Chain A
Amino acid sequence: MVDNCQIQCWYPQFKKITFKVKIIELPSEFRNYLEEDGVFMPQNYYVEDDQDSNSDEESIESEDKTPKYDFSALEEEIKATVDEYDEKVFIKLNWSAPRDANWLVPNLHCESTQEIYSLLKSSVFISHDVSAAYQGCVDHEGNSAPEKLYLALKKYHHNVRTHRENEFRCFVKENTLICVTQRDTQVYYPSLETQLEQFKPLILDFFNDHLQGHFADPSFVFDIYIDIPPNNKVWLVDFNPWHSKTDPGLLDWSEVMAHPTSDPVEWRIITEETGVRANEMSQYKVPAEIVEAPNSDEVKQFFDDMRGATSE
């Protein structure tokens, strides 16, 4: 069921209700490129082993080395699509967008292959898609990585990125819409409470008309974005598996699971000023050591040394 949530699987069926997307099958070596340590452009990885330069001697510069990867055909295809989409694309791999790496490319608004490659290489979310996507899946034994990788280039919609209050995550159990939550779980939008009343019928109609009984699984989670007025058009953004690993937003998976399909839909938004809160993505802007900090003796030593060091 995780498979059904991959963009290359659902896009053909739902293309009419989602944003314009170009899906490119990535060459098999692209996985190797993504799994290489460090963030470089493909042409900067070389065939020879240059990992052994542990001595602080200057390593011989790269002139006579052969680049390990050549994705020129792919690059052409990406360029053509970026051109077609007015030089602004939003990218996604099979499942995930590199949302965690927005410190590298602001708003994930890509204009060039360099930006696309560096985002793909830098994102922890993308690494997860590449190597561990099936972790924790009961219906997927053996290999935890997807067989093929696809790059989706979405036409960049400025409003989707900037009006996060119009984004919702919707939970479907046995083909019944049971719960809906605000997607941005950190900010109180004063206007949302009144807006929600207008949104409710739009969301219900959208589900009934386009999704109910049409998705490959009877239980699933989908994300939508509602266009700002006067359009108010509902767009499908993504599908996610019915699984506790899918972020439940302001809900709790235990309550989602327990919600009877016969009960009215549960709508969940933030209804009170929350004050300023830290950004939930902030953990991806710092090295893993800071987030996990368990062996903090080492980390402490590192920072003590760093602060203590003065240039003479």
Chain B
Amino acid sequence: MPSAEEQKEVMGRQPELSQQSLDGFDPNTLTPLSEDVISRQATVNIGTIGHVAHGKSTVVKAVTGINPVKTSKEKKRNITIKLGYANAKIFKCPTCPPPQCFIPAMFNTEDAMRCKVEGCESICKLVRHISFVDCPGHDLLMATMITGASVMDCALLLIAANETCPQPQTSEHLASIEIMKLDHIIILQNKIDIIMKDGTASQQYDQIKDFVQGTKAEKSPIIPISAQLGYNIDVLCDYICRIPIPIRDFTCPPKMSIVRSFDINKPGCSPSDLQGGVVGGSLLSGVLRVGEKVEIRPGMSGKDKNTGKRKCTSIMSRIVSLKAEQNDLLYAVPGGLVAVGLKCDPSLTRDDHLNGQFLGHPNKLPEVVEEVVIKFYLLRRLLGVVSDNTKKEKVSSLKKEEILLINISANSVGGKVIEKKKSMAKIQFLMPACASVGDKITLSRKIVKNWRLIGWGEIDKVTKVQQ
């Protein structure tokens, strides 16, 4: 654990935020609304779903106050793929009436923010810290689908007010909400300023109502907004604050799904200036603390020179820093993406080496395996995809020596079919992966130009990799 001085130094970099401390720290006392937590880290994940042209980035910008990607010259384009995560705080003014009392602010805004209304200037209360997840990364999305546990607590579904509803993509977006297991949806009728005058807004409202009839979004609020003009953003914040607080278990051992890993050192810098490796990911459960020992599995793999077999060494390290966006933390809870600075050789984390791996307490993570026996189920025919004109071909059985794409949690590995008997198959992982008996995996085959789902498997037996 870092000393009291060290903790003070880290926290003191942002004196305007709550000063976390690890002395006498008890995760049992924390909730996703604890001031010490939300002062620095987001605890509610909100997906933004909608067409780029419907003003997705503008909505995120209107709430977070930040542009998705900062480059040396401000970009004018709305780039969805490059967005990612953006965090924001929501404050409540004790004096102003609702909904004006709900004020969005940047992730690093001081806790004692003053209301901006002229003549009011009351000290506001921080009520939420949210993380917009535009594109959580397909690996995390896949993990959601496999395990059924969503990475998002709520979704904003964007509809452009100047178009009739439904647009073809809107149905797709609604479907993707269903698939991501999202229960809480807020529908935004964006660009309301364009149609405010001609009275078509209520007409579209009715169209939307009809459209969501019988879907998960049936009872969702529909809020007319103009992200461009900042109109009704307070109403949106009000509704965001009404989302039930996600239930999180802070007391179980931490488990983080790594989605990025990098080395931020300047090439060729001297060893004394070298900073340790950094991994970024989504904390699925538990709490991580600065100073504690962690393990990354499967870790580094190499080949045995003599046998040619893959060997694996998990990475044992210590957390030296935790960050949510640019806010320093002493402890991290589930919510948004967290960057974990480690005391390990930065070359281990370079270039996304560790993507798909898990970080947690030593000896608390799933076993690292090189071979699994699965009971498999194959689709009769391929599912349809738009980009491919292939008809819904029949799916042929697994064949010996065939290499499949195996998705297991947020990880992707090549898997070679070694043996097959009826509905059981032995699969050799071309890279060691974390897996446990009972885990579900998806099986995909390269067909024409793409990897296509052909079935799934349930792990029946595992063969651990030699350490």
Please report A residues at the B interface, Cβ cutoff 8 Å: 37-41, 44, 50-51, 53-54, 56, 58-59, 61-62, 103-107, 111, 118, 121-122, 124, 127-128, 131-132, 159, 161-166, 185-187, 189-191, 195, 228-230, 250, 252, 266-300, 302-303, 305-307, 309-311
Contact B172 A294 (CB under 8 A): yes
Shortest C-beta distance, A234 to chain B (Å), equals 14
Q: Which of B109-130 contact A (CB under 8 A)?
A: none
Q: Of A162, A230, A287, A299, which is within 8 A of B179 by CB?
A: A299
Contact B267 A278 (CB under 8 A): no
Q: Of A54, A128, A195, A299, which is within 8 A of B397 by CB?
A: A54
| B403: interface (CB < 8 Å) | yes
Q: Of A39, A40, A289, A293, which is within 8 A of B452 by CB?
A: A289
Contact B414 A290 (CB under 8 A): no
Asked, given contacts A122-B446, A269-B72, A288-B387, whether A276 binds B85 with beta carbons under 8 Å apart, the answer is: yes
Contact A303 B262 (CB under 8 A): no
Contact A311 B452 (CB under 8 A): no
Asked, given contacts A39-B402, A54-B396, whether A279 binds B137 with beta carbons under 8 Å apart, the answer is: yes
Main SS at interface, chain B: mixed
Asked, given contacts A285-B138, A287-B453, whether A297 binds B175 with beta carbons under 8 Å apart, the answer is: yes
Contacts of B324 in A (CB 8 A): 275
Shortest C-beta distance, B239 to chain A (Å), equals 25
Contact A122 B268 (CB under 8 A): no
Shortest C-beta distance, B143 to chain A (Å), equals 10
| B34: interface (CB < 8 Å) | no
Knowing that A58-B421, A250-B75 touch, tell me 15 more A-B residue pairs with CB under 8 angstroms.
Answer: A44-B401, A44-B402, A56-B422, A131-B449, A270-B70, A275-B324, A278-B138, A282-B138, A285-B407, A286-B139, A290-B142, A298-B384, A300-B175, A300-B178, A307-B440
Q: Which residue of chain B has the shortest Cβ distance to A121 in the bound complex?
A: B446
Contact A286 B175 (CB under 8 A): no
> When each residue 79-90 of chain B gets 1 if its CB lies under 8 Å from chain A and 0 otherwise, what string results?
001101111000
Cα(A104)–Cα(B356), bound, Å: 12
Q: Which residue of chain B has the shortest Cβ distance to A182 in the bound complex?
A: B71
Shortest C-beta distance, B392 to chain A (Å), equals 10
Contact B179 A185 (CB under 8 A): no
Q: Of B140, B260, B396, which is within 8 A of A53 by CB?
A: B396
> When each residue 435-454 of chain B gets 1 if its CB lies under 8 Å from chain A and 0 otherwise, what string results?
00000101011111111110
Contacts of B399 in A (CB 8 A): 38, 40, 44, 50, 59
Contact A288 B268 (CB under 8 A): no
Contacts of A111 in B (CB 8 A): 303
Contacts of A105 in B (CB 8 A): 430
What are 13 of the A-B contact pairs (CB < 8 Å)? A105-B430, A128-B449, A187-B264, A191-B264, A191-B267, A252-B75, A275-B324, A280-B82, A287-B450, A289-B383, A296-B179, A303-B148, A305-B377
User: Closest 3 interchain pairs by CB?
Assistant: A278-B137, A276-B280, A191-B266
Contact A37 B148 (CB under 8 A): no
Shortest C-beta distance, A188 to chain B (Å), equals 8
Contact A279 B260 (CB under 8 A): yes
Contact B412 A106 (CB under 8 A): no
Cα(A271)–Cα(B351), bound, Å: 19
Q: Which residue of chain A has the shortest Cβ distance to B438 in the bound complex?
A: A311
Contacts of B394 in A (CB 8 A): 54
Contact A287 B172 (CB under 8 A): no
Please report B residues at the A interface, Cβ cutoff 8 Å: 69-73, 75-77, 81-82, 84-87, 135-142, 145-148, 172, 175-176, 178-179, 259-260, 262-269, 280-281, 301, 303, 323-326, 337-339, 347, 350-353, 355-356, 375, 377, 379, 383-388, 394, 396-397, 399-405, 407, 412-414, 420-423, 430-431, 440, 442, 444-453, 456, 458, 460
Contacts of B445 in A (CB 8 A): 37-39
Contact A286 B138 (CB under 8 A): yes
Shortest C-beta distance, A178 to chain B (Å), equals 14
Contact A278 B69 (CB under 8 A): no
Contacts of B87 in A (CB 8 A): 275
Q: Which residue of chain A has the shortest Cβ distance to B79 in the bound complex?
A: A252
Cα(A277)–Cα(B337), bound, Å: 8
Asked, given contacts A186-B82, A250-B75, whether A162 binds B263 with beta carbons under 8 Å apart, the answer is: yes
Contact A302 B379 (CB under 8 A): yes
Contact A104 B430 (CB under 8 A): yes
Contacts of B450 in A (CB 8 A): 124, 127, 287-288
Cα(A61)–Cα(B356), bound, Å: 35
Cα(A299)–Cα(B452), bound, Å: 11
Q: Which residue of chain A has the shortest Cβ distance to B258 in the bound complex?
A: A276
Cα(A288)–Cα(B445), bound, Å: 10
Cα(A124)–Cα(B69), bound, Å: 27
Q: Which residue of chain B has the shortest Cβ distance to A163 in the bound complex?
A: B267
Contact B377 A309 (CB under 8 A): yes
Q: Which residue of chain B has the shortest Cβ distance to A164 in the bound complex?
A: B351
Shortest C-beta distance, B88 to chain A (Å), equals 12
Asked, given contacts A274-B69, A300-B179, whether A124 binds B449 with beta carbons under 8 Å apart, the answer is: yes
Contact A38 B402 (CB under 8 A): yes
Shortest C-beta distance, B42 to chain A (Å), equals 10
Q: Of A228, A274, A286, which is within 8 A of B407 by CB?
A: A286
Contacts of B69 in A (CB 8 A): 185, 250, 270, 274
Shortest C-beta distance, B400 to chain A (Å), equals 7
Contacts of B400 in A (CB 8 A): 61-62
Contacts of A269 in B (CB 8 A): 71-72
Contacts of A307 in B (CB 8 A): 146-148, 440
Contacts of A267 in B (CB 8 A): 72
Cα(A44)–Cα(B458), bound, Å: 26
Asked, given contacts A51-B396, A288-B452, A311-B458, whether A303 binds B179 with beta carbons under 8 Å apart, the answer is: yes
Contact B383 A252 (CB under 8 A): no
Contact B385 A40 (CB under 8 A): no
Cα(A310)–Cα(B375), bound, Å: 10
Q: Of A118, A162, A271, A302, which is within 8 A of B414 by CB?
A: A118
Contact A286 B267 (CB under 8 A): no
